[in-house]
Chains A and B, each alone.
Chain A
Amino acid sequence: MPGEGSQTSPSGRRDGFNDSLRAVTIKQILDAQPNGDEFKIDGTTISQLTFVGQIRNIATQTTNITYKLDDGTGSIEVKQWSDADAMEVNPIKAKLVEGAYCRAWGKLKSFNDRKHVNAQIIRPVEDMNEVSYHLLEATAVHLYFTRGPVGGTNSASGGAAANGGQGAQTGGGAYGGADLSGYGQVAKRVFQFLRESPQSNEGLHQQEIAANLGIDMAEVARAGDDLLAGGLIYTTVDDQTWAVLEAD
């Protein structure tokens, strides 16, 4: 007891404080990798989880109610500890019957290598579209952690879609949302060229920019320095290759 108590004392666990809420499938919970007292999904430490499943079994004990939830990807026990002060009949609980879909929020625990979730809240799903919504959200979050944000440099189809949207949005102004009022004419042209030219995520080399704009290399370099200093572009593979810094 003393040993375990000190293990989990705040001093030992302050690194990477995390109180996120993540939508997951039950398969992801079952596949979660233990990491000390915590678990990781897609390489990211998890805290609160939320998921939707169908109640397969309900076991009422003196201290808790254990629901077995099944979402088609797997099944897991979800424990809701009884609150002694709330002994009056809960109208929500009456709807949590076998076969019903519900959404749970809670934390993943492991006891003797058996995973379960300690749930703070379990409520019935009233609109069945929530089942689809949840599974799509879990997929989106999974893709965020495994492939990066939508529109990020390494998400192929998502990135293209996001860029399409951006193009439409910035049709009016060549500089997008960026404020180039304090920059010289060359810097403005360089920035516009970087924004509008098709390129890989490495951006463009200053030589290419100079050649395309018909501007002297030295001037392009100076303009680039200004844009770099202003945080509007950034260097990629070397100091002479730039890409537009997309700030949202």
Chain B
Amino acid sequence: MDHPQTPRILAPHLQSFQHKLVRMLGKVVQLRGETAVIDAGGNVDVILNRDCHLAIGHAVEIIGKVDGNLNVKVQAATDFGTNIDFNAANAVVEVTHRHKEIFYDGD
């Protein structure tokens, strides 16, 4: 499939998704040029690409690969604005893993 599954995760899941493609929704807390920090159930360092346009304080959904240092190398980022209910978004992550039969294939 040309668009592989991207399970939704939060910072505590990074360890178990090393070297995998994931989807994370978090709030941008720091921009440092080539990298940024997002808060997605904990701070996560993300490595940006040239097409990313992140804004501090905005929610952003990133698709990226978790590397060995638990940074996320971004492939795509979508601005989710400033009106995101993170309780709902984090509940989605929780059900993603609790009822993964409808969300992703395990290995």
- Using a CB–CB cutoff of 8 Å, the interface residues on chain A facing chain B are 24-25, 27-28, 54, 56, 68, 70, 72-75, 99, 101, 127-129, 131-133, 135-136, 138-139, 142-143
Q: Which residues of B contact A127 (CB under 8 A)?
A: 83
Name the one of A70, A101, A139 contacting B102, with C-beta atoms under 8 angstroms: A139
A/B interface sample: 13 pairs, CB < 8 A: A27-B5, A27-B102, A72-B6, A72-B103, A73-B103, A75-B2, A101-B78, A128-B59, A128-B80, A129-B85, A136-B95, A138-B102, A142-B99
Name the one of B1, B6, B81, B92 contacting A135, with C-beta atoms under 8 angstroms: B92
Q: Which residues of B contact A72 (CB under 8 A)?
A: 5-8, 23, 103-104
Mask, B43-85, CB within 8 Å of A = 1, is: 0000000000000000101000000000000001010110111
CB-nearest residue of chain B to A53: B3
User: Do B8 and A74 touch across chains, with their CB atoms under 8 A apart?
Assistant: no
Interface centre among A27, A75, A132 (most CB of B within 10 A): A132
Q: In whole angstroms, how far apart are the Cα atoms of A68 and B3 in the complex? A: 9
User: Do B88 and A27 touch across chains, with their CB atoms under 8 A apart?
Assistant: no
Query: Distance (Å) between the CB of A131 and the closest chain B CB?
Result: 8
| B29 contacts A by Cβ under 8 Å | no
CB-nearest residue of chain B to A134: B92
B: interface residue count bin: 20 to 34
CB-nearest residue of chain B to A42: B102
Q: Which residues of B contact A99 (CB under 8 A)?
A: 76, 78
Query: Distance (Å) between the CB of A81 and the closest chain B CB?
Result: 23
8 new A-B contacts at CB < 8 Å, known A70-B3, A72-B103, A129-B85 = A27-B103, A54-B78, A73-B104, A74-B1, A75-B1, A75-B2, A101-B78, A131-B92
CB-nearest residue of chain B to A101: B78
Q: With contacts A54-B78, A136-B91 known, is A28 near B7, CB below 8 A?
A: no
Q: In whole angstroms, how far apart are the Cα atoms of A53 and B81 in the complex? A: 17
Count A-B pairs with CB separation below 8 Å: 70
Q: In whole angstroms, how far apart are the Cα atoms of A128 and B61 in the complex? A: 10
Mask, B85-100, CB within 8 Å of A = 1, is: 1001101100110010
Q: Which residues of B contact A101 (CB under 8 A)?
A: 78
Q: In whole angstroms, how far apart are the Cα atoms of A72 and B97 in the complex? A: 13
Q: With contacts A54-B78, A128-B81, A136-B92 known, is A27 near B1, CB below 8 A?
A: no
User: Do A28 and B102 touch across chains, with their CB atoms under 8 A apart?
Assistant: yes
User: Do B3 and A128 touch across chains, with their CB atoms under 8 A apart?
Assistant: no
Q: In whole angstroms, how far apart are the Cα atoms of A136 and B23 in the complex? A: 16
Query: Distance (Å) between the CB of B54 and the closest chain A CB?
Result: 15
User: Do A129 and B1 touch across chains, with their CB atoms under 8 A apart?
Assistant: no
Q: In whole angstroms, how far apart are the Cα atoms of A221 and B34 in the complex? A: 78
User: Do B81 and A56 touch across chains, with their CB atoms under 8 A apart?
Assistant: no
Q: In whole angstroms, how far apart are the Cα atoms of A143 and B5 in the complex? A: 22
User: Do A75 and B3 touch across chains, with their CB atoms under 8 A apart?
Assistant: yes
Q: In whole angstroms, how far apart are the Cα atoms of A126 and B91 in the complex? A: 20
Q: In whole angstroms, how far apart are the Cα atoms of A135 and B6 in the complex? A: 14
CB-nearest residue of chain A to B79: A128
| In the A-B complex, the 8 residue pairs with the closest CB atoms | A75-B3, A132-B88, A128-B80, A70-B3, A72-B6, A139-B95, A135-B92, A72-B23
Q: In whole angstroms, how far apart are the Cα atoms of A129 and B90 in the complex? A: 11
